[in-house]
Amino acid sequence: MIDKEELKQRQESFEVLKNNNPEIILNSKLKENWSRFLSIFSKDKIRNLKMSDYVLDKNNPEGSFCYWVEVRLNELGNMHGSFALKFGLYLSKETREYIPTKKFGKTKEEAFIKIKESLIDLLDAGKDNDLKRVGENVLSPMFKGKILFLYYPDKFISILSKGHLNYFLDELNINYTEDLSEIDKRNILINFKNNDSVMKNWTNQEFSNFMYKFYRPPKKLQELIIDDEQEQKEIIKKVSILSREQIIAELRIAKPILKEKVKINGENYKRDNKTIAFLKILRGFKCQICKNAILKKDGSLYVEAAHITEKYKNGSEMPENILILCPNHHKEFDFGNRKIISRSSKEVVFKLNDKDYNISLELD
Ligand SMILES: [Zn+2]
């Protein structure tokens, strides 16, 4: 739960932050894109939209309404995570046919007419602040939320996911019932903001920025693993030009600092992901116990990093504390009956479920 004193302090820090650097709220490129979107997709133009101007299409991403709303203006409100179905009409990757969702109609033409009507209706309802009508609008909740914020940022807020809304309401100690819609919950948050002596002077966007900056909802463990895997893959791609000697040299200078960011080709990554990515390369993407890995459909090999001394026991992110293992051996290593016999920066000797292992930690 958010402590009132702490909230005040954080509001002060945020005021300083945004006054010193307004770009953190809305950088100029995003601002420009946002106004471009509003001029390309004004209400009148939405009336005359063609299907190809609407659906997400990898071959024509630039022009499509759904691409702009979901991807291009992602920083203004993240609506990833659910299906392409959320748009009511999508383009099949295989057949390149437009496929309607049942809710909107049997044929693509029928569905698209309904979608356009719903978009216009949503924009009218939003303009009048008619939350009941917004609630009745058949477009999907996240999509509606994002569109309303993009067109009326003074009236709506871009905290889109149900989980995040519940999390912020809980943290702010605001009572609500589970049957409330996302629209109602967003409205409760806006009222909370407008009743606060400091935050009432902020824009809705500043408020959601503040909430995400200081009270970011925790990620699920699964999401964390996927994020790390993704980051490691990017690093591996970037350093594929390095020789084995260069990889080893980088690993030798790894420092045991947690959470620090490192720069690779101008982009920031978690230091531990760099170390792990480099170790995966060095170990040839093979389990150090059984030499196996999982072949992914994109042709890359999947292996995991196991910490000999667990991270929660302050195990370091140094090469001498990390084993590259297949998922099976990783779980056996973590959950099995394990006894470390001896350990140095060169090797680790252990018993795992009654089998003896002697694994080299040497870098060359
Ligand atoms: Zn294995």
What residue segments make up the domains of the chain, in order of their start?
A: 4-221, 228-360
Q: Are the C-beta atoms of 305 and 263 separated by less than 8 Å?
A: no
Distance 297 CA to ligand 1 centre (A): 19
User: What are residue 98's phi and psi, to 5 degrees?
Assistant: -80, 125
Centre of ligand 1 to C-alpha 354, Å, is: 16
pLDDT grade, residue 258 (50/70/90)? low
CA 10 to chain centre: 24
Short-list 204, 209, 193, CA closest to 152: 204
* Mean per-residue pLDDT over the chain, rounded: 89
- Which secondary-structure segment (H or E) carries 162? helix 162-171
Spacing of C-alpha 76 from chain mean position: 13
- Between 34 and 335, name the one with better pLDDT: 34
Query: Residue 102: what pLDDT?
Result: 86
The three-state secondary structure class of 358 is strand
Local confidence band at 223 (pLDDT 50, 70, 90 cut-offs): low
Q: Is 349 exposed, middle or buried (0-12, 13-18, 19+ CB in 10 A)?
A: middle
Whole-number Å distance, alpha carbon 315 to ligand 1 midpoint, is: 22
Give the residue with greater pLDDT, 225 vs 236. 236
Q: How many whole angstroms from 24 Cα to the centroid of ligand 1?
A: 45
**In this predicted structure, which of 57-71, 201-215, 330-344 has the lowest mean pLDDT?**
57-71
**Ligand 1 center to 290 CA (angstroms):** 4
Q: How far is the CA of 255 from the centre of ligand 1 (A)?
A: 27
Checking if the pLDDT of 342 tops 70, the result is yes
Per DSSP, the residues of 238-296 read HTTTS-HHHHHHHHHT----SS-EEEETTEEEEHHHHHHHHHHHHTTT--TTT---EEP
29-64 per-position pLDDT tens digit: 999 999 999 999 999 999 999 999 999 887 776 779
Predicted local distance difference test score (pLDDT) of residue 163 = 84
* Predicted pLDDT at 61: 64
How many angstroms separate the alpha carbon of residue 313 from the centre of ligand 1?
A: 24
Residue 57 neighbours by CB distance under 10 Å? 20
pLDDT of 329 > 90? The answer is yes
Ligand 1 is an ion; its neighbours by CB within 5 Å are 287, 289-290, 326, 329
Going from the Cα of 288 to the center of ligand 1, the distance in angstroms, rounded, reads: 7
The answer to whether 112 and 51 have CB atoms below 8 angstroms apart is: yes
What are the tokens at 64? 């499509």
